[in-house]
Amino acid sequence: MRGGQTDPRRRVPRTDVLLADPGLAAATAVLGRDRVKAAVTAAQDRARRGEIRPDEVRDVAVAALPAPAPRAVLNATGVVLHTNLGRAALSRSAVDALVAAAGHTDVELDLATGRRARRGRDALAGLAAAVPGAAAVHVVNNGAAALVLAATALAGDREIVVSRGELVEIGDGFRLPDLLVSTGARLREVGTTNRTTVADYAAAVGPRTGFVLKVHPSNFRVTGFTSAVGVRDLVRLGVPVVADIGSGLLVPDPLLPDEPDAASTLRAGAHLVTASGDKLLGGPQAGLLLGDAELVERLRRHPLARALRVDKLTLAALAATLHRPDTPTRAALHADPGALRERVERLRERLGADGRKAEVVPAVAVVGGGGAPGVELESWALSLPERYAAPLRTGEPPVLGRVVRGRLLLDLRCVPPEADEAVRAAVLAVPGDD
């Protein structure tokens, strides 16, 4: 009967029927017809060999396709700038700008004259307006690139004087001294891990000095018997002072009193300030350079600047962030704890009678992203049994919380209010206890 009507191979869905399935059609739009068809054909072959049932062909083909990457996730960790989640979430205006910039744009064209214009002028104008004390500004592709460009253009093979207490590791095993030495510059370390004085710097400064580097140790704190030298004292040494403030705070924020900002650092006399765009600024990954016009121009015209140039998408998102600073990062940082508690309580109520053994508990959120160490943000979270962590993390959409003492905490500080329903649905999708 293999060739008869009862042969199960005759029930294997046709290729054209499968490709018209909404799920596979959506995958085709992202992955291309050839890739999806190959997955369909492989699943059909398995059904013909009797390895799977004919009615399983569609699901097996879908499962064989790669998941879209990157996947959007809901950040319920309570870490505002979570490096593993891409740090700052972009604002709606920045996302719209990205979409607009995906096609042909006037990134280097003056439409009024038809002539070439300065690349990224809208983003640069926004940065200059945000920090009027900067005589000139420039943008490269990340914060480390900003330091590399400064070291290459301003020091060359000369010395960079820096405190031993500021030679930080910036993540993933990359260390600031290794980064600087890779440019050909020489490091002149001064002071000790916990104490550095003006006299230490003064003794090191000389004809071989390219500049003095002041680094904000934004991902750790040293307490106790310590001393450090501020920018205002360093500029009296008579050599350029480059200050890496790290977290991208452009102006003071009362919530973060110990976090240096670009405007105040320039007022203190720094010749050049470097910072990241995807941290407290709440924008895309970028390296910001602000300061003395002659120094910034030297950096902008250095050959390495071309290799570190940002693309049109980054420039568009950065411009939108600077012109409309109502970012998700700012909203999360300044979220009202009372309003957060009300959201968590509503979420708990909407889980139903059993509530999935959920509780509303106080929580502590943090800035993250190597910024404002020690700053704790009062928050509230939905507490669930730890077993919810994995299925929520691998669900659709993925919901990431943090496990504390055997409980999964879902902190809504970084979750947009309109996504609360998605969190509820994700929790209910996890099989309950018997």
Pick the last residue of a domain from 296, 325, 354.
325
* pTM strictly above 0.85: yes
Which residues have a Cβ under 8 Å from the Cβ of 93 and sit 6 or more positions away?
Answer: 320, 321, 323, 324
| 358 shares its domain with 380 | yes
pLDDT band at 352 (very low <50, low <70, confident <90, very high): confident
- The number of folded domains in the chain is 3
Domain check: are 296 and 313 in the same one?
Answer: yes
What mean pLDDT is reported for the chain?
Answer: 92
Kindly state the helix (H) or strand (E) to which residue 44 belongs, with its residue range. Answer: helix 33-48
- Percent of the chain exceeding pLDDT 70 equals 95
Contact at 8 Å (CB) between 347 and 424? yes
Give the tens place of pLDDT for each residue, 208-222: 999 999 998 766 667
For tokens 């709606």, the residue is: 92
Residue 68 lies in a domain: no
Q: Which residue has the higher pLDDT, 30 or 255?
A: 255
Contact 249, 265 (CB under 8 A): no
Would 2 be classed as within a structural domain? no
Q: Looking at residues 369-383, what average pLDDT do you find? A: 89
SS3 content of the chain, % helix, strand, coil (to 5): 40, 20, 35
**The predicted structure's pLDDT at residue 359:** 95
Instruction: Give the pair of three-digit tokens for residue 383.
Output: 């507490």
CATH label of the domain that carries residue 107: 3.40.640.10
Identify any residues that bridge with 215 across adjacent strands, giving them in sequence order.
Answer: 244
CATH assignment at residue 365: 3.90.1150.180
Tell me the three state secondary structure of residue 208: coil
Q: Output the pLDDT for position 214.
A: 96
- Place 7 in a pLDDT band, splitting at 50, 70 and 90: low
- Residue 183 within any structural domain of the chain: yes
Residue 218: which residues within 8 A CB-CB, separation 6 or more? 245, 246, 247, 259, 370, 371, 372, 373
Helices vs. strands in the chain: H and E counts, helices first? 18, 18
Please, are residues 79 and 38 in contact by the beta-carbon 8 Å criterion?
A: no
Which residues are CB-neighbours of 283 under 8 A, at least 6 positions away? 88, 90, 94, 248, 277, 317, 318, 321, 322, 327
Under a CB-based contact definition with an 8 Å cutoff, are residues 409 and 381 in contact? yes
Residue 333 has a pLDDT of 96
Range of the domain at 20: 8-61
CB hemisphere CA count around 210 (13 angstroms): 23
Say which residue the tokens 């490096």 belong to: 83
The answer to the question of residue 277 being in a domain is yes
User: What pLDDT sits at residue 388?
Assistant: 95
Same domain, 54 and 172: no
DSSP class of residue 183? T
pLDDT band at 369 (very low <50, low <70, confident <90, very high): confident
Local confidence band at 70 (pLDDT 50, 70, 90 cut-offs):
confident
Residues 257 and 142 in one domain: yes
Indicate if the pLDDT at residue 235 is higher than 70: yes
Q: Is residue 343 part of a domain?
A: yes
DSSP state of 254: T
Cα separations in angstroms, 133 against 128, 266, 279: 8, 7, 21
Main-chain dihedrals φ then ψ at residue 72, nearest 5 degrees = -70, 135
Q: How far, CA to CA in Å, does 367 sit from each of 15, 219, 333, 358, 411?
A: 51, 10, 7, 26, 13
Q: Which of 184, 189, 187, 213 is nearest to 203 (CA)?
A: 189
Count other Cβ atoms within 10 Å, centred on residue 36.
Answer: 24
Task: List, for residues 317-350, the tens digit of each pLDDT value.
Answer: 999 999 998 999 999 999 999 999 999 999 999 9
Domain boundary residue, one of 310, 325, 340:
325
Please name the amino acid found at residue 247: S
Query: Is 179 within 8 Å of 148 (Cβ atoms)?
Result: yes
Together in a domain, 267 and 180: yes
> Does 277 lie in the same domain as 239?
yes
Instruction: Tell whether 225 is covered by a domain.
Output: yes
Where does the pLDDT of residue 258 fall: very low under 50, low under 70, confident under 90, or very high at 90 and above?
confident
* pLDDT of the residue at 2: 47
CA-CA-CA-CA torsion for 298, 304, 310, 315, nearest 10 degrees? 10
**DSSP SS3 for 275:** strand
Would you place residue 1 in the very low, low, confident or very high pLDDT band (cuts 50, 70, 90)? very low
Q: Are residues 189 and 298 in the same domain?
A: yes
Tell me which of 304, 325, 346 is where a domain ends. Answer: 325
Structure tokens of 399? 């919901």
- Higher-scoring residue by pLDDT: 27, 373: 27
Q: Among all chains, which residue has been given the structure tokens 């990224």?
A: 120
| Same domain, residue pair 129 and 228 | yes
Q: Is 47 among the domain residues? A: yes
State the pLDDT at residue 318. 98
Where do the H-state alpha helices sit in 255-396?
262-267, 293-301, 303-307, 312-323, 328-333, 337-349, 389-393
Tell me: pLDDT of 176 over 50.
yes
Closest CA to 18 of 68, 54, 69: 54
**Residue 308 confidence (pLDDT):** 97
Q: What is the mean pLDDT of residues 191-213?
A: 95
- 334 and 281 within one domain: no
And the tokens for 144?
A: 């480390």
Which tokens hold the place of 70? 């990157």
Q: Clarify whether residues 318 and 370 are in a common domain.
A: no
What are 267-320's pLDDT values in tens digits?
999 999 999 999 999 999 999 999 999 999 999 999 999 999 999 999 999 999
220 falls within a domain: yes
Q: How far is CA 224 from CA 193, 198, 221, 227, in A?
A: 12, 19, 10, 9
319 and 334 together in one domain = no
Same domain (yes/no): 115, 98 = yes
